[in-house]
Chain A
Amino acid sequence: MSLQMSEAEGAVKVEEWQQTFYAPDSGIQSGATTIRDEDSVSARAGESATDMEAQYSLTRAQRVRAAMFPETLVEGETALTAHSNPDQPTNVQRLAEPSQLLKTAIVHLINYQDDAELATRAVPELTKLLADEDQVVVNKAALIVNQLTRKEASRRVLMQSPQMVSAVVRAMQNTGDLETARCAASVLHSLSHQREGLLAIFKSGGIPALVRMLSSPMESVLFYAITTLHNLLLHQEGAKMAVRLADGLQRMVPLLKKTNPKFLAITTDCLQLLSYGNQESKLIILANGGPESLVFIMRNHNYEKLLWTTSRVLKVLSVCPSNKPAIVDAGGMQALGQHLTGSSQRLTQNCLWTLRNLSDAATKQEGLDGLLQILVSQLGSDDVNMLTCATGILSNLTCNNARNKALVTQSGGVEALIHAVLRAGEKEDVAEPAVCALRHLTSRHPDAELAQNAVRLHYGIPAITKLLGQPHYWPVVKATVGLIRNLALCPANQAPLRESGTIPRLVNLLLKAHQETQRHGSGAQQTYQDGVRMEEIVEGCTGALHILARDPINRGEIASMQTIPLFVQLLYSYVENIKRVSAGVLCELALDKQCAEMIDAEGASAPLMELLHSPNEGIATYAAAVLFRISEDKSSDYRKRVSVELTHSLFKHDPAAWEMAHAAMPLDPGYIPDDLDAVYPPYGYSDLPMDGLPLDAELHEQYMPEMTYDPRQVYPNPL
């Protein structure tokens, strides 16, 4: 009943509106087909020509049309000109082609002006009707407004009316009728294609209303709302903040569960626009399950534009420390890896950048075999962006992951990385990760030796050595010295490394870095260059020389470069690792008698005695070994002191045993024999009687047979 009454009232209102409007019946109430204004003339055949002409004269556009383009008048209309002669062509008809084009343009303008006038007259009334209490009225008004937006001229009039736009917005958000909401949303969508319209929507509070429409159960409303918001985000200043304030992200993220690819493409693009450079937005996306939904899209869709927009959101999120592990845990690495071999260059590149960002959080991920193999193949690319990403991802995924190291090694990764290094030239963004990846492959996994040999077999040693040259980019230098250290673990690499000039380069770098550390003081002060501490270079170079010194020829070359004083000085370093590698290289050099004497002459005994007490097993072992080696032809006093220190350090945590040992040891000079050439018969520990061991000098001579040194003995050829 109320509906019938409201419909009747509505019909009255529309009729009233029509009477103020010179345009013909739109058919809303009469059901008549919508007809153009020219046709309305023929519908009123009963009126006199004079009346018709009079009506024409009331419309400027019609007068212009009649005067200029009488041929555009429909049947029944008359031309206004008093000089017209149907037998003769009009002036316009006589014009050449360009003028015909001009005529066409003017006809359009006339129609445009008609539409504009129509809309101008309708807007105030329609605005009122949109705010009517009667929802039927509102619905019909919304339909009409929606129709008006179909033509450019009338659309422009609408968007120039703030009251109209506000009325549409309010109608959309207040109505309970889905069709009304749809019409209103459609109106806003139409308006959003022009800047003027965007501004009008923005100023009318359209953004919060549109955000609320994102919860609509009607798909078309969702589409209009998200598309309108997308246009606002793209082109309207202030829109991003307004959408965020209206909790737009919280409403958009759940929409990622929809299935329409084009809808999803717009939604993901909105998320990208909102979250780029905005940490809070990224956290909101995370809190609403964004990573899982985005990864799902990458896994399950194949519409290129959607994959591209989604990859862009993931790229934005991948720099967020909180989002990164969530994306990885959701299978993001595997999902992105699915799209590295397609035909879309932009998609491939975005996936690569995202993978690179995520890679440091994915070192423990499983199921990356396919990705690793694709990355190895991409190392053959000439595209510097692709190389940068592939080397970076491989560097991180091989970090502390024996499985990944083995897979990359077995997939030809070593050769591919060497080629990448060669092609990188001075591009540090490629060279550094490529060398780091090689460094990872050459240590700490069962196939490390395979990788060490592969570098040599693929002619990688000269290229790698060259990276130590100037100009020094310290991150690359640091990675390279670490790689050289690993390569030297392989005996077959020692000679090629020497022949490529590695040793003098390492020594020079060591000297340079050490000088820098000395120049800037000691202790807590650390010197950085290109983000690398010079102490790291000292450690790396000394570590590489330590392993190179396992080869006797290399050992001689290292010692001949006057390095022993520096190595002894490094024993005093406050950096634990520097102490370890310097003790290590001295341990190797001390194999040679002359070097052992030089080490002793530099006063190494004192710091080495201290290092015996190091909690680091490696340091203590190297220190003990060096002391053994430099004390072989020392006086008995010296060897006794060494023995006492060594024993002291051994008994450090067992004071009772120390007391027993200390009391048992005679302290007279005869304790250790001076006869250095005496050779003592070997005996096994198990043959020693457990009681009644005489603690006299004779026994001590036997007790320390290793303290004798026969210079006539020749060291066996190592390795």
Chain B
Amino acid sequence: MNREEAPGKSPEEMYIQQKVRVLLMLKKMGSNLTPNEEAFLRNYAGVVHSQMSQLPQHPIDQGAEDVVMAFSRSETEDRRQ
């Protein structure tokens, strides 16, 4: 969560800003929002606009990473032909 805030913001403004950020992050992660939440974002479109550029660019919560399988733990038996 963004903790760097411009000086002079009121607690209410900061709260709105962070709430918008939470909802935008949810959307970025593919989660659904309630109608009220969608309405909230519409209500604070200006904050949405300013927060969009501050969202992390890297993907969030993509699930488990790919992992290699180690096959070369031991030599396979070799039959001379």
Contacts and interface: CB of A to CB of B under 8 A. Distances in A.
Contact of A664 (B4, B11, B69, B74): B11
Nearest to B15: A647
A469 B60 CA distance: 31
A715 B66 CA distance: 36
Contact of A621 (B5, B9, B16, B25): B25
Contacts of B67: 399, 436
A632 B72 contact: no
Nearest to A688: B13
A528 interface: no
A346 B81 contact: yes
Residue of B66, B70, B74 with most partner-chain A CB within 10 A: B66
Interface in A325-372: 346, 353, 356-360, 363
A650 B14 CA distance: 9
A169 interface: no
Residue of A324, A482, A624 with most partner-chain B CB within 10 A: A624
A453 B61 CA distance: 21
Interface in A615-643: 617-618, 620-622, 624-625, 628-629, 632, 643
A459 interface: no
A396 B44 contact: no
Contacts of B3: 650-654
B46 A690 contact: no
Interface string B17-47: 1110011011001111011111110111111
Interface size bracket, A side: 35 or more
Interface string A310-328: 0010011011010010000
B76 interface: yes
Contact of B39 (A353, A489, A543, A682): A682
Given A360-B70, A650-B14, A705 B78 contact: no
A685 B44 contact: yes
A528 B21 CA distance: 39
B72 A588 contact: no
B63 A324 contact: no
A306 to B, nearest CB: 14
Nearest to B39: A682
A682 B66 contact: no
A399 B46 CA distance: 41
A436 B70 CA distance: 13
A439 B65 CA distance: 10
A319 B8 CA distance: 63
A665 B12 CA distance: 9
Given A276-B75, A550-B31, A647-B14, A433 B69 contact: yes
Interface in A455-493: 482, 485-486, 489
A398 interface: yes
Given A649-B1, A683-B43, A395 B69 contact: yes
A17 B32 CA distance: 105
A441 to B, nearest CB: 10
Nearest to A580: B61
B16 A398 contact: no
A695 B76 CA distance: 76
Given A617-B56, A646-B15, A444 B62 contact: yes
Contacts of A693: 10, 12
B62 A706 contact: no
Contact of B35 (A651, A653, A713): A713
A701 B20 CA distance: 18
Interface in A437-459: 439-440, 443-444
Given A399-B68, A550-B31, A686-B46, A486 B74 contact: no
Contacts of A632: 36
Contact of B32 (A432, A588, A618, A650): A588
A400 B65 contact: yes
6 contacts: A396-B69, A396-B71, A625-B31, A628-B37, A653-B3, A654-B4
Interface of A: 272, 276-277, 308, 312, 315-316, 318-319, 321, 324, 346, 353, 356-360, 363, 392, 395-396, 398-400, 432-433, 436, 439-440, 443-444, 482, 485-486, 489, 539-540, 543, 547, 550, 577, 580, 584, 587-588, 591, 617-618, 620-622, 624-625, 628-629, 632, 643, 646-647, 649-654, 657, 660-661, 664-665, 682-686, 688, 690, 693, 695, 699-700, 703-706, 708-710, 713-716, 718-719
Given A621-B22, A685-B44, A695-B12, 6 more contacts: A357-B71, A360-B68, A486-B63, A550-B30, A621-B26, A685-B50
For the complex of A and B, the 9 pairs showing the least CB-CB separation, nearest first, are: A682-B43, A661-B11, A357-B72, A360-B68, A618-B61, A686-B46, A399-B66, A319-B72, A685-B46
